[in-house]
Amino acid sequence: MNELEYIRSLAQQQHQWQTPVHQGSLLMGPGDDCAVIRKCGSRVQLLSMDTLVEAVHFDRCFHPPELLGRKVISVNVSDIAAMGGIPTLVLLSAGLPPGFDANWVLAFNQGLLEACQHYNCSLIGGDTVASPGGFSFTITILGEMEESAVLYRDRAREGDTVFVSGFLGLSAGGLALLKAGFSAREPQFAELISQHLNPTARVQLGAALANSGLVHAMMDSSDGLATDLAHICSASQLGAQILAEQLPISDNLREAARLCRADPLDWALRGGEDFELIFTAPPQAAAALRELGNDCSVQIHAIGVMDRGEGLRLLEQDGVACCETFLTHQGYDHFRRVEEN
């Protein structure tokens, strides 16, 4: 059993049970970036939970504690942004290994509290436990917004254009550079490395997109475009075709990939941890959405289209040759070419 199978089995087991009375206020349970519950009048509350485990999600060898503290918050805030909400409250459960370094922890806390301040949310509680397997940080984040503005991932429509904010693959490129011994002191790589160590959640953009009324479905690119867009596809019971040449891949990412002997397209599709927003809207909304991105100092890129085809497909054009690659719904591990002409 892997993690995905665990989640599925838990969901299946849950179906046996009667619905508790409080579920009347539950607008979205498991299966989106946040759970959504009615709060008061037209307001809803958003809830999400994310754990970051040492040696799985972060490497203390090159992750400064202040930036890790910030990242733990940003990763969670991004789930709120992915629904279009505003973060409000945070709970932290910290797992501390035996004999942990007090200075490291003070710096981590400093970064975490700075990030709470940056996103205008408050740490209101949590837990502290001993952790035999290294540091482990679980955050529960709450957010708020108008019920009518919430953007779910299951509402994409056939013919919608697929958009993405910012650039893809930066975090994966930054991680590869760090592992190869590069640092943020090298100017052309500062952005990539910073995107890995200290990403920013797109709160302002997410809220603007939600309030625009132009967007049908949205989520954040935490697991990589291929996996995340596949979630929009399966939730919306649609397929999608994305165009390789439209993917926002920066020159610095290409240069990093050359140095690290990696494929920048692979980073863009499967890198994860970009914390950009992936969203779908009618093609005619493109100009207005780009304008809205400008207001938030973020470029918006159209990268594909939602259709009735099966799953997620990548179209690569090379002169007259055209190649369609099938990206499975699991996305992360599997890469299978199904058609070439």
Pick out residues in 171-230 that bind a second copy (CB under 8 A).
Answer: none
Cβ–Cβ < 8 Å for 202, 81: yes
Distance between CA atoms of residues 217 and 24, nearest Å? 23
Q: Is 126 an interacting residue with respect to a second copy (CB under 8 A)?
A: yes
Rule CB under 8 A: choose which of 42, 125, 159, 245 binds a second copy.
125
**Biggest alpha carbon–alpha carbon distance for the chain:** 62
290 phi, psi to nearest 5 deg = -65, -40
CB of 48 to a second copy, least distance (A): 7
Pick out residues in 51-70 that bind a second copy (CB under 8 A).
Answer: 51-57
Nearer to a second copy, 94 or 208 (CB): 94
Q: Kindly state the DSSP code that residue 20 receives in the 8-state scheme.
A: P
3-state secondary structure of 54: strand
Nearer to a second copy, 203 or 256 (CB): 203
Nearer to a second copy, 53 or 235 (CB): 53
Count of residues in contact with a second copy, rule CB under 8 A: 75
Q: Is 234 an interacting residue with respect to a second copy (CB under 8 A)?
A: no
Pick out residues in 71-110 that bind a second copy (CB under 8 A).
Answer: 88-89, 91-96, 100, 102, 105-106, 109-110
Q: Is 42 an interacting residue with respect to a second copy (CB under 8 A)?
A: no
> Residue 275 is which amino acid?
F
As a whole number of Å, the end-to-end CA separation of the chain is: 38
CB of 56 to a second copy, least distance (A): 5
Pick out residues in 278-337 that bind a second copy (CB under 8 A).
Answer: none
Pick out residues in 129-148 that bind a second copy (CB under 8 A).
Answer: 129-134, 136, 138, 140, 142, 144
Residue at token pair 């002409």 = 341
CA-to-CA dists, residue 276 to 188, 219, 238, 248, 270, angstroms:
20, 9, 22, 11, 13
CB of 6 to a second copy, least distance (A): 6
Distance between CA atoms of residues 294 and 166, nearest Å? 11
Rule CB under 8 A: choose which of 7, 288, 322, 338 binds a second copy.
7
For residue 6, the surrounding DSSP H or E stretch is: helix 3-14
Region near a second copy per CB under 8 A, out of 41-49, 267-275, 301-309, 331-339: 41-49
Nearer to a second copy, 133 or 213 (CB): 133
Strand 239-243 relative to strand 35-40, pairing: unpaired
Q: Is 1 an interacting residue with respect to a second copy (CB under 8 A)?
A: yes
CB of 91 to a second copy, least distance (A): 5
Shortest CA distance to 169 belongs to which of 232, 226, 109? 226
Nearer to a second copy, 40 or 61 (CB): 40
Nearer to a second copy, 6 or 263 (CB): 6
Write the CB contacts of 184 (distance below 8 Å, at least 6 apart in sequence).
190, 193, 194, 197
Rule CB under 8 A: choose which of 68, 72, 77, 116 binds a second copy.
116
Residue at token pair 């949590």 = 126
CB of 114 to a second copy, least distance (A): 8
Cβ–Cβ < 8 Å for 241, 120: no
